Structure 1
Amino acid sequence: MKNNELKTKGELREESLFDKTVGRRSFLQYAGAGAAGIALVAAGCKKDRGYENPSMNGGATLDFKDDIGVLNYAYALEQLEAAFYIQVANSNTQFTGSNAAAKKAYFQDIQFHEIAHREFFKAALTTSAIGSLQVDFSSIDFTSEASVLSAAMAFEDLGVAAYNGAGSRLKNATYLLLAGKIVSVEARHAAYVRDLVSNGTFADLNSLTALGANNAGGLDAALTPDKVLAIAGKYVKTKINVINL
């Protein structure tokens, strides 16, 4: 698909998802994801119409020779995050404390951000998109607040580092702008989750030095795609092939 065509479709979807208010019910209809569809995506067994099933073609290939590869990389990460939050929202996690209801509401609501991000990349990439990844959350106890919060913090911190580390690879200014809009949302998620785990740590960069943060310079985490995928691989069954990195 030509870049100018991708840009046009991306801009159209950006307007519809980011510049307008989308209610929960309207968004689910817009994204084509009813309750049954969401459950299938979370389980990693939904085959997207018009996309190859990764389990049938030897995995997903991320080719970083151009912007398409970077967008597919972001799409892969958003698939993982969306699947996680969908599963939390549909699990009986035992949240505790006086703000237990707020915690539950956060996880129920945040899934729609991640679904929006996932569907945005899928629509923008069209036939250039990789297929649906199969996830593995067996290491996460979705009934445990501590386990869910720990996993959410890890996903959000990694997501921010991933966008920051891949931004320099984007050649198209429109794509870079979109990535900046999305990573700022991911950073809001990360800050909130960190504060739930340990009150007052929402801006703690010292704990993120392993992900490339620089506290003295006031710079957030940034990791190259190979390092991000190595960490995320724990939660992905689908083999991800990387070329031209």
Structure 2
Amino acid sequence: MSMKNNELETKSELQDESLFDKTVGRRSFLQYAGASAAGIALVAAGCRKDRGYDNPVMGGATLDFKDDFGVLNYAYALEQLEAAFYVKVASAPPASFTAAQKAYFQDIQFHEIAHREFFKAALGTAAIGSLEVNFESIDFTSSASVLATAMAFEDLGVAAYNGAGPRLKNGTFLLLAGKIVSVEARHAAYVRDLISNGSFADLNSLASLGANNSAGLDAALTPDKVLNIAKTYIKTKINVTNL
């Protein structure tokens, strides 16, 4: 099957499945994940065309930061949130979105699905289940509301990866996290520019998230601060230990 046909098949599936039951095809997943040769076997094992998760969250989720798996589960939780948001936007974008905006939000959707599926595969049986989101505060018919939420999610995602990176001890995981956060930063820059042209490199506006413009450093937040912000959009109770 060609890449084009594979992408069309994946997009067709996205129209029929619920927010947290999306999967991305194997070729698209490897393309977006950018996995190293040593990690391809692990990645491919998590890319089967299943319709849902094997371990849905029941009564809450626990993020135990005692080791790398806790950090990966933390990233997995945030990628679930982002993927759910972009799937919803891509399936029914605001009427005022341009064709270019619709196309780009489709691309972001597949990036976030790929990120989510990577962490699910890497964690295996140690992965937390699927989280329940709360998007009641978002007006998905309003481009202003969608763009503002996208900016908040992307800025928070970058700060989350930067803040959690030092906790990773495995060099392979750290490398892949670096590849993912660079993509998240591209998303953040694009969305910021849509809201206010030319603002994509404005670090001063991110000072509250830990950015330092004079040093040329992007935002970084510890997991407790990130989760405190993200909880507005997550119904599932998240317990944190060994932070």
Which residue matches 2:85?
Answer: 84
List gaps (5 residues or longer) in structure 2: 23-49
Structure 1: 4+ residue segments shifted above 3 A: 22-25, 27-31, 38-42, 46-49
Aligned mate of 2:192, from 187, 191, 194: 194
Structure 1 counterpart of 2:42: none
Identity within the alignment, % = 72
1:165 to 163, 166, 169: 163
Query: Does structure 2 retain, via aligned residues, the 8 Å contact 1:24–1:112?
Result: no
Q: Matched residues in 2 for 1:23 and 1:113: separation?
A: 16
Q: Corresponding residue for 2:135?
A: 137
Q: Secondary structure at the match of 1:160?
A: helix
C-alpha distance 188-176 of structure 1, shift in aligned 2 (>3 A):
same
Asked if structure 2 preserves the Cα contact closer than 8 Å seen for 1:89 and 1:111, the reply is: yes
1:118 maps to which residue?
116
Q: Deviations over 1:104-137 (max 9, x none)?
A: 1111221000000000100111100000000011
**Equivalence for 2:17:** 37
* CA distance in structure 2 between the aligned counterparts of 1:221 and 1:115, rounded to whole angstroms: 23
**Deviation of 1:27 (Å):** 5.7
Determine if contact 2:21/2:53 at 8 Å carries over to the other structure. no
Contact 1:93 1:142 in 2 (8 A): yes
Task: Give me the whole-angstrom Cα distance separating, in 2, the residues matched to 1:28 and 1:225.
Answer: 37
Instruction: Sort the Cα spacing of 1:187 and 1:40 in 2 relative to 1 into closer, same or farther, 3 A.
Output: closer
Distance 1:113 1:28 in 2: 15
Change (3 A) 1:244 1:194: same
Normalised by the length of structure 1, the TM-score is 0.82
* AA partner of residue 68 (structure 1): F
Aligned residue for 2:17, secondary structure, equals helix
> 3-state DSSP class of the match of 1:133?
coil
Count of aligned positions:
215
Matched ranges for 1:1-245 at <5 A = 23=3, 26=6, 34-39=14-19, 41=21, 48-51=52-55, 53-54=56-57, 56=58, 58-95=59-96, 100-245=98-243
Q: Which residue of 2 aligns with 1:19?
A: none
Helix, strand or coil at the partner of 2:239: strand
Paired AA for residue 234 in structure 2: V
The Cα shift of 1:24 comes to: 6.6
Q: TM-score, normalised by structure 2?
A: 0.82
> d(CA) in 1 for partners of 2:103 and 2:60?
35
Q: Is the 8 A contact 1:133 1:237 kept in 2?
A: yes
- For the 8 Å contact 2:151–2:192, the answer to whether it is kept is yes
Please report how far the alpha carbon of residue 89 of structure 1 lies from its aligned counterpart in structure 2 after TM superposition.
0.5
Q: Contact (CA 8 Å) 2:93, 2:102: kept in 1 or not? A: no
| Aligned-pair Cα RMSD in Å | 2.3
Report the Cα offset of residue 94 of structure 1.
2.1
In 2, distance between residues paired with 1:34 and 1:205?
Answer: 35
Contact 1:161 1:221 in 2 (8 A): yes
The AA in structure 2 aligned to 1:202 is F
**Residue 111 of structure 1: SS of its match in structure 2?**
helix
| Corresponding letter in the other structure for 2:54 | G
The superposition leaves residues 139-191 of structure 1 with CA deviations (integer Å, 9 ceiling, x where unpaired) of 00000000000000000000000000000000000000000000000000000
8 Å contact from structure 1 (residues 47, 132) kept in 2: no
